[in-house]
Amino acid sequence: MSEIRVTHNKFDADKVQGKSTLQIAMEITSQVKSLLTTHVRTGRLRNSYMWKVDDSGEKKKGDFNNMGGTIQESELSVEAELNNGVVGSNCEYAVYAEMGTRYMSPIPALRPAAALITTNQSWEQIAKKIAKEVELGKLFEGREFTNFFEVKS
C-alpha cells in the first residue's frame, strides 16, 4: 500500500487559536475535497479522504464517502494518537496523485489544504505554490517538491 505522511505540528497560533483538533481536521479534509473537484473522473479519490481524531480517548471519524461519485471501499487505516488528528486517504493511488509519477504531473491537494488551514498564508500564496508544483511536472531524479508550509516574510 502506498502512503504519504505529512506531519505538521507547527501551527501559526493566531490561525488555529480557539480551534479544536477535530475542527482543524474537518477543515483540512473539506479543503482537500474542494481542491480535488477539478480533477474528478469517478470521485473515488475525493471520497476516500477522511479525518480521524482521538479527543481525550474518544475516537471520532468522518467525511468518508460523503461526496458524489464512486464509493471508496476501505477507510483510512491509520488511527489518531491520543489528542491528535489524522487526515488522509486509503486509496491506493492517492500518493501518486499528490506527488505525481514519471508519467503524470502531481495534483497536490493534501499538502496545500493543510498549509492553508494551519498557516497564515493566503489562498493566492497557496495557489502560486500549487501552480509551481504542477509546472515542475512529472517526477524525475533529483526533482524537489514544493514546501507548502514555508512562509516567506
Least confident of 38-42, 44-48, 126-130, 138-142: 38-42
Q: Is residue 78 part of a domain?
A: yes
47-98 pLDDT per residue, tens:
899 999 998 889 999 988 888 788 888 888 888 998 889 999 989 999 999 9
61 found inside a domain: yes
Assess if residue 100 is contained within a domain: yes
Percent of the chain with pLDDT over 90: 53
Judge whether 48 lies within some domain: yes
Examine residue 129 and state whether it is found in any structural domain, yes or no: yes
Identify the bridge partners of residue 85 per DSSP, sorted by sequence position.
53
The tens digit of pLDDT for each residue in 13-50 reads 667 777 888 999 999 999 999 999 877 888 899 989 99
Determine the Cα angle at 148 with ends 142 and 153, to 5°.
110
Q: What is the pLDDT of residue 37?
A: 84
pLDDT score, position 15? 75
Residue 97 CA, distance from chain mean position? 11
What is the span of the domain harbouring residue 113? 15-136
Q: Which residue, 27, 39, 45, is CA-closest to 130?
A: 39
Q: 114 pLDDT exceeds 90?
A: yes
Amino acid identity, residue 1? M
- Residue indicated by cell numbers 497536490: 108
44, 48, 77 from 73: Cα distances, Å: 9, 8, 12
Give domain status of residue 143, yes or no: no
Enter the C-alpha cell of residue 5: 505522511
**Beta carbons within 8 Å of 47's beta carbon, 6+ residues apart:** 64, 65, 66, 67, 69, 70, 71, 72
Please check whether residue 146 lies inside any domain of the structure. no
| Residue 19 counted as domain residue | yes
* 58 Cβ contact list (under 8 Å, min separation 6): none
Instruction: Give the number of domains in the chain.
Output: 1
